[in-house]
Structure 1
Amino acid sequence: MSVEPLGRRTLAPLALLLLALVALVGCGSSSGGDDDGSGGPPPSTPSSRFAAAGTLPPVLAERPAPAIRLTDARSGEPFDTASLRGTPYMVTFLFVNCPDVCPLIGQEIREALEQMGGQAERVAVLAVSVDPRGDTAEAARTWLRRQRQPQNFHYLIGSEDELSPVWRAFYAAPQIAGDPESAHTAVVWLIDARGRLAAKVDAGTSFEPADLAKDMRTLLSE
């Protein structure tokens, strides 16, 4: 195959250092991803079109989203973003043993889907693992159950060789192996129904699920 305690979000010192370094290159908390996973895209800017997400810079806006071909931990079957043609979706990066940031991102996304009501069935969520060793299929399925995530929330796993191209393509720095604290990129990318990069939410700080729900409705209406 190819190609973050709840409520107030807390980040480990290493994560804060990572975010500070990323900010220096103008990428907020949503970047990482040159050859060693440490570079990043130009920053997004506030948007009148979206509530939670920021507008992407011209170099990224409406560019085709990178293809993702990994294993869906829930089904054990291959998952290809080509199957989402005509469906707006979100892409985020998680690991099951994350003590703070990932559970909160998961909760915020789930609450956004709940606020969308029946419209939620018309979108999808892809959570790409940043910890290929710890994110086994069984561990990911347990995380999905504990988070009470719906069937259209896909936890995608794979080997480091399979995941690395996805990390690079989405400017995502993976979790540092052996580090129990959150030290990876926190972002939610929004992809439109045509499979194009539409916006991104810098998820290093808490965002309102209602705003994310509004943003996904915007994509559904286009």
Structure 2
Amino acid sequence: MLKNIRIALWVAVAVSLVGVSVLLWRADRQERAAAFKPEFSLPDEAGTLHTAEDFRGKHVLVFFGFTNCPDICPTTMAEVAQVMDDLGPEAAEVQPVFISVDPARDRESGLGKYLSAFHPSILGLAGDEAATQAAVGSFKVFSERHEDASAPGGYTMSHSSSLYLLGPRGDWLRQFEYGTPADDITADLKERL
């Protein structure tokens, strides 16, 4: 009888150790996944340099686009504007950032004016080619120029179409695929705020 109790206790200890090991392993994986912190150092329209560190304490919605974009960019900016309006007072805890993948042309055409037509809180950043490519690489997104005689300036840009969410410590939280409804983005943010 005593032998059966000892065996049962050792089995319980072994099962407990396996359970704790699995929990620690999962927590370590989640911590490593959350450690991805995209970086950027880009100026706004006034020339003020902004980095991810500037937004510490806020959730940051980041989008890569360009002002001559015919569809994805304006649609996404309209969704971001709706999110900011729907958040109400909690919008103060969120900073939307638009990083131009066509910085020279966007600076000339007035990136700030373009974005303020959607929502005054959207911050437009447009650096030089090297800084832009560094940001694109850090976020692991895609951006490429294509010659197109029918497009303004004779070219257009292809780019990743998702909206990216960074946490208050600058860590990558998730991405929202193009076409994610504003209500879904708002609900996700409200759970985090």
1:198 corresponding residue in structure 2: 173
1:150 corresponding residue in structure 2: 120
CA 1:70/1:64 → structure 2, altered by over 3 Å: closer, same or farther?
same
TM superposition outliers: structure 1 runs of 4+ over 2 Å:
57-61, 177-183
How far residue 209 of structure 1 moved from its aligned partner, in angstroms, is 0.4
1:98 corresponding residue in structure 2: 69
How far residue 177 of structure 1 moved from its aligned partner, in angstroms, is 4.5
Preserved contact between residue 60 and residue 97 of structure 2 (Cα < 8 Å): yes
Higher helix share: 2
Once residues 69 and 161 of structure 2 are traced to their aligned partners in structure 1, the CA distance between those partners, rounded to angstroms, is: 12
CA 1:59/1:211 → structure 2, altered by over 3 Å: closer, same or farther?
same
How far residue 124 of structure 1 moved from its aligned partner, in angstroms, is 0.4
TM-score for the superposition, normalised by structure 1: 0.65
Once residues 157 and 36 of structure 2 are traced to their aligned partners in structure 1, the CA distance between those partners, rounded to angstroms, is: 29
RMSD: 2.1
CA 1:201/1:59 → structure 2, altered by over 3 Å: closer, same or farther?
farther
CA 1:196/1:78 → structure 2, altered by over 3 Å: closer, same or farther?
same
Determine which of 62, 80, 99 is the counterpart of 2:51: 80
Preserved contact between residue 76 and residue 137 of structure 1 (Cα < 8 Å): no
Within 5 A, what are the aligned runs for 1:3-82? 61-73=33-45, 75-82=46-53
Deviates more, 1:169-178 or 1:159-168: 169-178
Alignment-mate amino acid for residue 172 of structure 1: V
Over alpha carbons, which structure has the higher Rg? Answer: 2
* Runs (5+) with no aligned partner, structure 1: 1-56
How far residue 76 of structure 1 moved from its aligned partner, in angstroms, is 2.9
Aligned residues: 159
Percent identity, aligned pairs only, is 25
Once residues 62 and 165 of structure 2 are traced to their aligned partners in structure 1, the CA distance between those partners, rounded to angstroms, is: 7
Preserved contact between residue 146 and residue 158 of structure 2 (Cα < 8 Å): no
Alignment-mate amino acid for residue 196 of structure 1: D
Preserved contact between residue 126 and residue 154 of structure 1 (Cα < 8 Å): yes
SS class of match (2:43): strand
1:31 corresponding residue in structure 2: none
Preserved contact between residue 93 and residue 128 of structure 1 (Cα < 8 Å): yes
2:125 pairs with 1:165 = no
